[in-house]
């Protein structure tokens, strides 16, 4: 179980380490935490959902068996988006587990945990880990089990939420491609978009799991979208990551839009008064709407904590989003004269619908809508299979002294200022930004950049990744 750890969103690790005893261990630990903390009592319902990874059905069945033996009543919600599971949990006031590795490689998996009132926080993570440690190597029944299936009921609630968001027929005249790959959101996207009058073109459905990272869209995914867009005369292409909580939107040319731009469009669509977003989101967000902005560390628990603080301070119309585009709502909003209930977990449907609606209202290509925000050009990518120990050593070196940081970045530009909220975000003397941050979910080193032009951003990103790689190679 050495690879298993809590990251920016739930427990993650190698599928081989999570399958079997480990999944029974953490499901049991979560159940004990719920019962001890008063978030559940014996016999209460607890929901279990999963993504399309090869390992997910077995892990789900093991968790269901462990939850039953721990004294709870599991409900099998099948393969569906994480926000749909979370919404049904809030509706029933029931805890839930989502078996998913989100966007990370297919040989990995994870578990996302929800209390009856929403996503767990960092204190819950500590408590669950302590319960797992207390169980330790003691005998633990790993027998899998089945449970009552409520996939249809869970999906119906989520579909109704999204079918009530926009005016009837508001996407009529648009031709929208749905890159289906292996996301659990693929069929629901088609149903919702068709409901609003769009012509839907299914694309790239796969029975093999494909990890799609919406924050660092791969060259292969971009190549596919740029081919599909003219071939099918598309106005946009939409998709999501494996568990459907991070959106992907490409314009009429197949060029992907930044996730934080999608979140920003959703903020303006909702009429937000407070926006909570991580330090990795575009620096132009503060000036792109009439709202107050709170910056946090990367990860939905930190965004949720920021939203909770705003609510506790008496603020209304509070929402948040991550740089990957996953959008969260903490307040009840009024949209088109109807209430839109809070869903304080990442959701891909809200930002996608808000963005397509913005293009429909403007009667302009999606590229023109995106360009109208005039945000600094941003780019992000990562070095995969980058040892966690090497990431930690690099960050320790860069933080050790200003001289180390200046020397590291000397081939690029001099340092003007830096921020250490999460990773190191550096403003260079020429006003470009570069941000180094180890992934919280996988052995990857991430680099985020901003510049005044797309070409400058791409060049800076290439330089940043090159510096990371060269530093690591020099250590070998």
- Residue 440, pLDDT > 90, answer no
**Last residue in a domain, options 325, 344, 371:** 371
Average per-residue pLDDT for the chain: 95
pLDDT confidence of 1, banded at 50, 70, 90?
very low
* 264 and 307 housed in the same domain: yes
What pLDDT sits at residue 18? 94
The pTM (predicted TM-score) of the whole model is 0.89
Dihedral angle sign, alpha carbons of residues 393, 399, 400, 403: positive
| CA dist., res. 130 & res. 198, Å (int) | 49
On the question of pLDDT at 2 being above 70, the answer is no
Stronger pLDDT, 381 or 86, i.e. the higher one: 86
Domains held by the chain: number: 3
Instruction: Return the number of other C-beta atoms located less than 10 Å from residue 402's C-beta.
Output: 11
pLDDT score, position 10: 86
Q: How many Å apart are CA 397 and CA 394, to the nearest integer? A: 5
Structure confidence at residue 6 (pLDDT): 87
Residues annotated as catalytic are 102
Q: In what order do the strands lie in the sheet with 445-451?
A: 377-383, 445-451, 433-438, 424-428, 415-419
What are the CA-CA distances from residue 22 to residues 69, 110, 129, 261, 359 (Å)? 15, 11, 12, 38, 46
**What pLDDT does 151 receive?**
98
Q: Does one domain contain both 308 and 206?
A: yes
Say what percent of the chain tops pLDDT 90. Answer: 88
**Domain match, 204 and 229 both:** yes
Nearest-angstrom CA–CA distance, 3 and 74: 27
What is the extent of the structural domain holding 206? 173-371
pLDDT tens by residue, 189-243: 999 999 999 999 999 999 999 999 888 899 999 999 999 999 999 999 999 999 9
Neighbours of 309 (CB within 10 A): 16
Same domain? For 146 and 35 the reply is: yes
Split at pLDDT 50, 70, 90, the class of 5 is confident
191 and 329 assigned to the same domain: yes
Residues 144 and 192 in one domain: no
Q: Report the pLDDT averaged over residues 149-177.
A: 97
Span 360-376, pLDDT tens digits: 999 999 999 999 998 99
Identify whether residues 134 and 200 lie together within a single domain: no
User: Average of pLDDT values for 172-195?
Assistant: 98
Question: pLDDT digit string (tens) for 316-345?
Answer: 999 999 999 999 999 999 998 999 999 999
> Over 50: is that where the pLDDT of 274 sits?
yes
Mean pLDDT on 125-152: 94
**Which of 135, 150, 165 finishes a domain?**
150
> Do 367 and 387 share a domain, yes or no?
no
- pLDDT band at residue 3 using 50, 70 and 90 as cut-offs: confident
* 402 lies in some domain: yes
Q: What band does 431 get if pLDDT is binned at 50, 70 and 90? A: very high
pLDDT of amino acid 309: 97
Which residues lie below 8 Å from residue 27, measured CB to CB, with a gap of 6+? 62, 63, 66, 67, 70, 97, 111
Same domain, 146 and 182: no
Q: Has residue 425 been placed in a domain? A: yes
What average pLDDT does this structure show over 107-127?
95
Q: What is the pLDDT of residue 139?
A: 86
Would you say 92 and 254 are in contact if contact means Cβ atoms under 8 Å apart? no
Average pLDDT of 64-86?
A: 98
Residue 166 lies in a domain: no
- Residue 99: per-residue pLDDT: 98
**Residue 320 belongs to a domain with what CATH number?**
3.40.120.10
């Amino acid at each position: 179980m050495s690879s298993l750890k809590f990251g920016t969103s739930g427990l993650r690790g190698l599928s081989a380490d999570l399958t079997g005893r480990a999944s029974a261990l953490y499901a049991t630990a979560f159940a004990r935490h719920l019962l001890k903390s008063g978030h559940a009592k014996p016999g209460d319902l607890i929901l279990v959902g999963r993504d399309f990874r090869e390992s997910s059905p077995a892990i789900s069945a093991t968790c269901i068996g462990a939850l039953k033996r721990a004294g709870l009543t599991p409900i099998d919600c099948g393969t569906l988006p994480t926000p749909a599971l979370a919404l049904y949990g809030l509706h029933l006031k029931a805890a839930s587990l989502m078996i998913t590795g989100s966007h990370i490689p297919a040989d990995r998996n994870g578990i996302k945990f929800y209390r009856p009132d929403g996503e767990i926080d960092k204190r819950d993570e500590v408590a669950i880990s302590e319960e797992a440690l207390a169980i330790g190597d003691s005998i633990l029944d790993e027998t899998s089990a089945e449970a009552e299936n409520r996939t249809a009921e869970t999906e119906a609630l989520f579909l109704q939420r999204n079918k009530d968001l926009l005016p009837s027929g508001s996407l009529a005249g648009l031709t929208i491609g749905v890159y289906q790959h292996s996301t659990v959101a693929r069929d629901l996207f088609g149903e919702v978009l068709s409901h609003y009058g769009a012509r839907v073109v299914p694309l790239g459905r796969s029975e093999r799991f494909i990890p799609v990272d919406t924050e660092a869209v791969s060259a292969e995914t971009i190549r596919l979208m740029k081919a599909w867009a003219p071939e099918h005369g598309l106005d946009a292409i939409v998709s999501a990551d494996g568990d459907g909580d991070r959106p992907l939107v490409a314009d009429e040319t197949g060029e992907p839009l930044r996730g934080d731009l999608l979140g920003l469009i959703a903020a303006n669509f909702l009429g937000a008064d407070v926006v909570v977003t991580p330090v990795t989101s575009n620096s132009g967000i503060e000036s792109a709407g009439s709202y107050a902005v709170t910056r946090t560390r990367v990860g939905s628990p930190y965004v949720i904590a920021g939203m909770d603080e705003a609510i506790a301070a008496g603020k209304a119309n509070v929402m948040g989003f991550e740089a990957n585009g996953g959008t969260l709502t903490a307040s009840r909003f009024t949209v088109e004269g109807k209430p839109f209930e809070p869903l304080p977990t990442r959701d891909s449907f809200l930002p996608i619908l808000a963005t397509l609606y913005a293009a429909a209202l403007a009667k302009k290509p999606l590229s023109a809508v995106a360009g109208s925000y005039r945000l600094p050009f941003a780019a992000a990518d990562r070095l995969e299979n980058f040892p966690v120990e090497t990431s930690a050593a690099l960050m320790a070196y860069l933080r050790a002294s200003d001289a180390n940081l200046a020397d590291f970045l000397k081939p690029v530009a001099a340092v003007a200022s830096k921020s250490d909220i999460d990773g190191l975000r550096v403003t260079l003397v020429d006003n470009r930004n570069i941000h180094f941050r180890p992934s919280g979910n996988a052995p990857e080193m991430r680099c985020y950049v901003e510049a005044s032009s797309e070409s400058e951003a791409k060049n800076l990103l290439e330089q940043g990744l090159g510096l990371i790689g060269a530093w690591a190679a020099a250590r070998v």
